[in-house]
Structure 1
Amino acid sequence: MRTATQTSPLHPALAGLALSGALAWAAMSLGNIGWLQDHGFSALTVAIVLGIVLGNTIYPRLGASCGEGVRFSKQTLLRAGIILYGFRLTFQDIAHVGLAGVVIDAAMLLSTFGLAWLVGTKVLKLDRDAALLIGAGSSICGAAAVMATEPVLRARSEQVTVAVSTVVIFGSLAIFLYPLLHTLQAEPAWGLRLPDFGVYIGSTVHEVAQVLAAARSIDQHTADVAVITKMVRVMMLAPFLLMLSMKAAPTTSGHQHQHNKLSIPWFAFAFIGVVVFNSFFPLPAALNQLLLQADTLMLAMAMAALGLSTHLSALRSAGIKPMILGAVLFAWLVVGGALVNGALGRLLA
């Protein structure tokens, strides 16, 4: 009995980590399929889908033995994955898009997130956390931003999954819409000549994978500019989280705000530190690639764990309002993004 008591706390963590890891490995393998890559479905998207499937079929019978490891994947590995995400970015990326690209990214982030809060909470009467999560995913970098925002808001799993769902749906739609818009802008009826269509895509499409898929359908130059613009937008995740931790500290009914220091996303500081290090002390390419693979694995495990802990009944209870908010934000990203790119692109060129 003594041995069993000593070892029993370890078993749930190992079992849950193994399950999350297996789903992440499967998602990463499926993410390499050409058709999925061409349609902007990354390993993170596939991981949450696999997690939801198992979470609503087999996992309820395994929850007691896997719960600890799944929670560890969803919380600790998520933070580690966001930190390692910094190895994808350098300050040199900013130089490639120039001042106009940075200002356009910032303008789209702030306007989209502000619109999410306004429409979500004031018009649609959504729960604040749900609206902010959808706003984070739409305005910065899709599922990764939603997952990074969740610890700051202490949101529920079903709210996170609903927010990720809006990213998947509308980001996937963007993959087919933007090449069509590129064709239309050459027509006199369109009436808007964007200074750089790559900046437009990178500053308005949700996920990095979706940006690449949409831009690659046009040409290589557009794809290169779009991805760099998107990376600069991703770099804004850290200051966004720091601002959010100060302005949107969670509350409990009938109580005052919890002390701000409890909601400061410390991993955001580590993320910034990694970007700084990667900018001035680049690692050998092989080591950098290894770290990026580890990062993808950690984030995929976090997404799989999120899916495992999400029940479809909770998604159904969320109703249509989150999708309406996602649609409103998508319309702003497409139409408002074109106007912002046209105006600021010419002004700051």
Structure 2
Amino acid sequence: MKYIQTLYQDTMPGLLAAGMIAITSVFLSSHYGGPTMVFALLLGIALNFLSDHDRCKKGIDLASKKILRIGVALLGFRISFEAVVDLGIGPVILVVVGVVATIALGLILTRDSQSDSAFGCLTGGAVAICGASAAMALSSVLPQNEDNERNTIFTVITVTALSTIAMVIYPMIAALAGLNEQQTGIFLGATIHDVAQVVGAGYSVSDPAGDTATIVKLLRVAMLLPVVMTVMLVVRTRMKKSQSGEAKLPFPWFVLGFVALVALNSMVAVPVEISGFFTDVSRWCIVGAVAALGMKTSFAALLKVGYFPVAVLVAETVFLAVLSLAAIFVFGM
């Protein structure tokens, strides 16, 4: 009981700060427009001084790590194997190839630069899978250091901005390319980074396009599992080779939770009220984690990143869009 009381006293101030930022960000987004993640990041950065306060530090760390993992695990409620099967083999292959190729491009672009391979993996995964959520999940299994935190916050900001731009531009590109409703849905779902922007873009075209875009997007979210597991194994192997003893990298149990919930959602008819509730909890957890990460980051640290990382993210985004359009035309999806 004393341990719980001490833990409560140590973490509650930081958790409350992250929670208040999350609530404010959702309010601003719903009333004035704009991406929730960007509001959470900017408000968090504005309160950066709290991360140095003894009473808030532990709670902020808890929100940016463990609360994040809970949110990612609960994303499993969005996906079912049946929805993937109904999609057909073409879009499935497109998603798998797109994810692998985009991450590979990120690694290639950062191979001979000042940025390391971890940054290439982080940006490639964020662009290819599900934007800010993927960036946060991948960050949790990469080596934990100041560069990782700075790169993560930079990636979240940039990929969210690019996703918002894509939400506006990509439907117009689909119309100019003469895509039908299903093809438009496949294109939007396979290319736009964040789930919210995919839904917004898809249903702005039509309901069928929105439904298809959402399913394709959730298939990309499902790729989070194999990608995170692969990255974790590679990082562990490198750490073992570079130092004696066991690599000090925690096992991502949240990934197993993600798998379990996908399986549950596929085998059992989970009531919409329950799945909707946990989907909302997932969203709140991730927004709170982004707010906490923002509080751990300063503008001065972000300015040190430079222009090259922006170019990497833009190149990955354009590459994924071109690849998806080419696949739709060549294979007649």
Normalised by the size of structure 1, how large is the TM-score?
Answer: 0.86
Q: How does 1:284-323 map to 2 (within 5 A)?
A: 284-323=271-310
The equivalent position to 1:96 in structure 2, one of 79, 86, 99, is 86
**Per-residue Cα deviation, 1:47-91 (whole angstroms, up to 9, x for no partner):** 222212222xx536x622100000001111111111111111111
Q: Which moved more, 1:162-171 or 1:255-264?
A: 255-264
For 1:183, the equivalent position in structure 2 comes to 175
- Is 1:166 the equivalent of 2:158? yes
CA shift at 1:252, angstroms?
Answer: 6.4
Normalised by the size of structure 2, how large is the TM-score?
Answer: 0.90
SS in 2 for 1:310: coil
Q: How does 1:125-204 map to 2 (within 5 A)?
A: 125-155=114-144, 156-186=148-178, 196-204=183-191
CA shift at 1:11, angstroms?
Answer: 2.5
Say how many residue pairs are matched: 329
Unaligned 5+ segments in structure 2 are none
Counterpart CA distance in 2 for 1:259 and 1:252 is 8
Q: 1:7–1:288: structure 2 CA closer, same or farther, 3 Å change rule?
A: closer
Q: Which moved more, 1:174-183 or 1:321-330?
A: 174-183
Q: 1:6–1:235: structure 2 CA closer, same or farther, 3 Å change rule?
A: closer
For 2:39, the equivalent position in structure 1 comes to 46
Contact 1:249 1:257 in 2 (8 A): no
Counterpart CA distance in 1 for 2:305 and 2:182 is 40
Q: Which moved more, 1:131-140 or 1:284-293?
A: 284-293
For 1:14, the equivalent position in structure 2 comes to 12
For 1:218, the equivalent position in structure 2 comes to 205
CA shift at 1:232, angstroms?
Answer: 0.8
Counterpart CA distance in 2 for 1:157 and 1:248 is 17
For 1:30, the equivalent position in structure 2 comes to 28
AA matched with 1:107: V
Contact 1:194 1:338 in 2 (8 A): no
SS in 1 for 2:47: helix
Counterpart CA distance in 2 for 1:332 and 1:11 is 48
Contact 1:249 1:263 in 2 (8 A): no
Counterpart CA distance in 1 for 2:69 and 2:103 is 22
Q: 1:95–1:7: structure 2 CA closer, same or farther, 3 Å change rule?
A: closer
What is the alpha-carbon root mean square deviation over aligned residues? 2.6
- Is 1:59 the equivalent of 2:46? no
